[in-house]
Structure 1
Amino acid sequence: MKLIGRLFLIVFLFSIVAIILGLGYIGYIPAVSKLLGTNKPKDLGVRYTEQDRVEARAKSNIEWTTLPSSTSDEQSIQRFGRHNVDTNWTSAQMTALMNNPPWKYWPYNNAQVKFNADGSAEISTGINKAVFPSYAAFMGIPKVAATFIMKLLPPQPVVYLKIKTSLVDNQVAIFEPQSFELNRIPLPIDKFLAFQRPSFQLIKPVNAQLSIDMLTDLAKVNNKKSLIIDYINNHLAGYSSFFFAKEARFEENKLIFKGTLPDQEATMR
């Protein structure tokens, strides 16, 4: 089931990359963040119990096993087989999964997930910078990009994302980002949609700053939404041997899923 969360977070992570590029010139002061409460995730009002976690795992019918500690970061999650699934998870159940992952490099903490009647979903979470490089390696993010993000993230990053999205036949059917916050600072959607896959030849040595010129250049990129959708679809295609979303969408307090999930998921813990 953690796979479902990770696929949803592919959108989330890609959003973070764009946000960071847009806010690289802003300085973050930990003491001020703590005083203002901007180092704590936004409260979505979702609470979970141990029963939510147990029920959420049971719905996925995935067997979890442990990999040797010597396993490389890139291979720290391995999946085998697949089976049909037709079910739904509540906001509390998904929140329980987000906060109890059986994986050493899961970077999200104090997370809440909320599914809304209009087809949107919200995620509010802290990010553990200590494990982010290993997480990025598993996700296939270039090391230079991960290093760049690490330099620009605040010391105690928290992120909020609201997005309306759905999958049909393992492809993005709807993709409508609605709002972003980084350390409780609202961010303009147009800057996010201006992001293109990084051309690292354009990135100068980072001193925790990014030029206004680069922001201007990002705003000129055409077909921004298409680039992001292509990125997500490519990841979905890479998962097709063990994951296929015939349908995945949000309703009031529900993530509805019809498709296939792996029989077994082995992780390094």
Structure 2
Amino acid sequence: MNAKKGNTKLVLLTVAILVLGSVFWVYASFSLLGPKDLGVEYTHEDYVNALEKTGIQIEYEGMTGEELEEYKLNAEKKSIHDYNFEFSDYEQKQFTLTAAESTALLNEIAPGFWWFDDLQVKVLPDGTMEGSSTADIKRLKEDLYSDVADDVPLPLPDSLNIYSKGRVSVVNNQLSGDPENFYLGAVQLPDKYLEEESVNTMEDYFPRIYTVVPGLEITSLTSNSNGEFVFDGVIPQKVSVTKK
């Protein structure tokens, strides 16, 4: 009898540990465990190549070049509303970026203001694009989506790992997407949120992330058979950032 009670307690304890472990894993996957690794690694050379192709030169509080790169190593997150951004010398540009160069540019060009950490992007052989990052939901709501933040039907943590896969393109600054998968942490977004109405809503609001740059004109952003991102549009060649 005592042996049976002991076995029952052991089984219940094991089940409880498994349940708690599963709950922790799901919760931790939202931000603590890091985003999905797409296998895209980049070097400083990839970032330099990306800057050369785009032609962008950045000055932050008087810092440029190596001085700015050194400062960025420990840069704190800042609100775009606390700074003045001056964009100038706009030029028409056509270029291609590899997955490593694109990932380097997105992570390194403005880490103090960018809303996504540990971001990776890549193009699969069939032209499908993948993206993975940790999104700073709190700052996104404050900087870009304060007008609709209260309309989100689900409570979201301040930081959230996201992963997406599908066909994506931008034509004349308008995003078009055909998502196959979208994950929030380890939880896949239900299919009803990937249907046309929901996708159209995402296409309406996502461009705020890149049209925050005044005068930016993305004539087209697609991919090619070499797994590269292909850009055609008008972008500023000089960016100056100063505190208000």
TM-score normalised by L of structure 1 = 0.62
Residue of structure 1 in register with 2:238 after alignment: 264
Residue of structure 2 in register with 1:138 after alignment: 143
SS at match of 2:129: strand
Q: Report deviation, 1:261.
A: 0.6
1:28-76, Cα deviation, whole Å (9 max, x unpaired): 955664599972211111111111111011111011011599x973363
1:99 and 2:107 aligned: yes
Match of 2:124 among 91, 100, 116: 116
Distance 1:232 1:148, change over 3 A: closer
Q: Is the Cα contact below 8 Å between 1:170 and 1:246 reproduced in 2?
A: yes
Residue of structure 2 in register with 1:79 after alignment: 87
Q: Report deviation, 1:176.
A: 0.7
Question: What CA distance in whole angstroms lies between the structure 1 residues aligned with 2:210 and 2:114?
Answer: 20
Match of 1:126 among 134, 153, 163: 134
Distance 1:37 1:107, change over 3 A: closer
Question: What CA distance in whole angstroms lies between the structure 2 residues aligned with 1:75 and 1:155?
Answer: 20
Distance 1:66 1:81, change over 3 A: same
1:214-242, Cα deviation, whole Å (9 max, x unpaired): xxxxxxxxx44444434456887775x52
Question: What CA distance in whole angstroms lies between the structure 1 residues aligned with 2:111 and 2:241?
Answer: 6
Match of 1:182 among 184, 187, 198: 184
SS at match of 1:266: strand
1:152 and 2:155 aligned: yes
SS at match of 2:143: helix
Question: What CA distance in whole angstroms lies between the structure 1 residues aligned with 2:211 and 2:30?
Answer: 42
Residue of structure 2 in register with 1:161 after alignment: 164
> Identity of aligned pairs, percent?
24
Q: Say what the alpha-carbon RMSD is for the aligned residues.
A: 3.8
Q: Is the Cα contact below 8 Å between 1:117 and 1:250 reproduced in 2?
A: no
- Give ranges in structure 2 of 5+ residues lacking alignment: 1-21, 63-75
Letter in 2 for 1:243: L
Distance 1:30 1:98, change over 3 A: farther
Q: Is the Cα contact below 8 Å between 1:30 and 1:156 reproduced in 2?
A: no
1:248 and 2:242 aligned: no
Question: What CA distance in whole angstroms lies between the structure 1 residues aligned with 2:33 and 2:55?
Answer: 36
SS at match of 2:203: helix
1:179-221, Cα deviation, whole Å (9 max, x unpaired): 1111122222322447xxxxxxxxxxxxxxxxxxxxxxxxxxx
Residue of structure 2 in register with 1:229 after alignment: 203
- Give ranges in structure 1 of 5+ residues lacking alignment: 1-27, 195-222
Higher strand share: 2
Distance 1:235 1:35, change over 3 A: closer
Distance 1:88 1:186, change over 3 A: same
Q: Report deviation, 1:110.
A: 1.9
Question: What CA distance in whole angstroms lies between the structure 2 residues aligned with 1:253 and 1:90?
Answer: 7
Q: Is the Cα contact below 8 Å between 1:136 and 1:146 reproduced in 2?
A: no
Letter in 2 for 1:179: N
1:47-62 residue pairs with structure 2 within 5 A?
47-62=41-56
Q: Report deviation, 1:105.
A: 2.9
Larger-gyration structure (1/2): 2
Letter in 1 for 2:81: E
Question: What CA distance in whole angstroms lies between the structure 2 residues aligned with 1:88 and 1:188?
Answer: 34
